[in-house]
Amino acid sequence: MKKLLVSITALAMSSSLAACGSTSSSSSSSESSADNSSKTIGIAMPAQELKRWNNDGEFLKKQFEDAGFNVVLTYSNNDATKQNNDVLGLISDDVDLLLVAAVDGTEISKTIDTAKEKNIPVVAYDRLIMNTDAVTYYISFDNYTVGKLQGEFVKQQLDLDNSSGPYNIEFVAGDAGDNNARYFYDGAHDTLVNYINSGKLIVQSGEDSFEQAATKGWTTDNAKKDMENTLTNYYPAGTKLDVALCSNDSTALGVTQAIEARYTGNNTPIITGQDGDIDNLKNILDGKQSMTVYKNVNDEAAVAFEVCKTILQGDVPTAGLVDSLPMEVTYDTGSYNNGAKYIQSYLLLPYVITKDNLQLLVETGLYKWDSNNKYLEEAE
């Protein structure tokens, strides 16, 4: 109950922050807007294929522009080489700050070192950039908790502490180049591992490690192919699949398609997800996907904006910044080590959405019911 209240408060506050971000900047003195207009922010997003990155990109751009900054926004088709080139371009354009959601957190490290040589501050957005001390801040959600919420959902649904099982489960993790993907997998797997060890949960495919469960590029197509192979090879006619623990919505979508095409069991497997993509919300309402872990990316963008603005104004973002933010954010200096150092992180809270509390999404102002009141669509 407490969690629900926190969520509702966070949701209600998030829209006010969005409003507040633009109001405070537009009400700032013409002098400070003039200062801002001499500064350019380079924003690098991974891909346009997934709805969330479009939202992040657009919302970030709008906030910075409303505050008078110039913005160059790039998308890199989920291609790490293209993103390296895109970011090198931003560096040679002498941007004043880089905000990067990496396609591959390791492949971009050297490029980020180049930014440091030119004294361009770098903030990692949503995904950590690895093996470089050039990253100053990291803004994300509590990624381990995302996976933990998925694992706990499965535990509750199957009543694992009281029922006898056994149940069949398959893990569908994210892209191995995305540092988040392992946190999501670990959060879910750690929550369920005792039941796997005791034999109450069985991974028929044996693909139980992160590396085995990873899905290249996080794509729906790859998740679909992987699950079709799993079903063909390990689920002969009538074998029940109880759970597909999918790390996000794009993989959940592929798994749902594979199940529709190939699954011969007569139950509806539990399918988890993350993000709240429109197609997945439709599947939740249709009973094809069980839950998604929702992350309010407008809140994430709003926190990133505050951190970047502080740096651009020559100040140092510290723990105290969270006190000025209306949503729940934790300042964390001991969880995210990128191989070079612990990165000062601002972490937001994710929460579970099922068929029963979808209305919470409408209350964010980001979604609305369609004209038939049946499915959700993006609010304008």
Q: What is the number of the residue whose Cβ is closest to ligand BGC?
A: 248
Please tell me whether residue 127 binds ligand BGC under the rule CB under 6 A: yes
Q: Of 294, 254, 246, 295, which is closest to residue 273 (Cα–Cα)?
A: 246
- Select from 41, 44, 45, 50 the one that contacts ligand BGC (CB under 6 A): 50
- Nearer to ligand BGC (CB atom), residue 160 or residue 302: 302
Q: How far is the CB of 297 from ligand BGC (least distance, A)?
A: 8
Q: How far is the CB of 249 from ligand BGC (least distance, A)?
A: 6
Q: Do 152 and 359 meet the contact criterion of CB atoms below 8 Å apart? A: no
- Nearer to ligand BGC (CB atom), residue 126 or residue 306: 126
- End-to-end CA separation in angstroms for the chain: 31
How many Å apart are CA 376 and CA 368, to the nearest integer? 5
Please tell me whether residue 304 binds ligand BGC under the rule CB under 6 A: no
How many Å apart are CA 293 and CA 211, to the nearest integer? 22
Q: Do 303 and 346 meet the contact criterion of CB atoms below 8 Å apart? A: yes
How far lies 134's CA from each of 42, 104, 121, 226, 316, in Å?
Answer: 16, 16, 7, 37, 15
- Residues 156-175, interacting with ligand BGC (CB under 6 A): 174
Q: How far is the CB of 50 from ligand BGC (least distance, A)?
A: 5
- Residues 203-262, interacting with ligand BGC (CB under 6 A): 218, 248
- Select from 25, 44, 51, 52 the one that contacts ligand BGC (CB under 6 A): 52
How many Å apart are CA 203 and CA 205, to the nearest integer? 6
- Nearer to ligand BGC (CB atom), residue 104 or residue 275: 275
- Nearer to ligand BGC (CB atom), residue 168 or residue 280: 280
How many Å apart are CA 122 and CA 350, to the nearest integer? 25
Structure tokens at 361: 């999404």
Q: Of 253, 214, 236, 230, which is closest to residue 51 (Cα–Cα)?
A: 253
Please tell me whether residue 148 binds ligand BGC under the rule CB under 6 A: no
Binding mask 256-275 for ligand BGC (x = CB under 6 A): ------------------xx
Please tell me whether residue 180 binds ligand BGC under the rule CB under 6 A: yes
Interface residues with ligand BGC (CB under 6 A) are 50, 52, 126-127, 174, 178, 180, 218, 248, 274-275
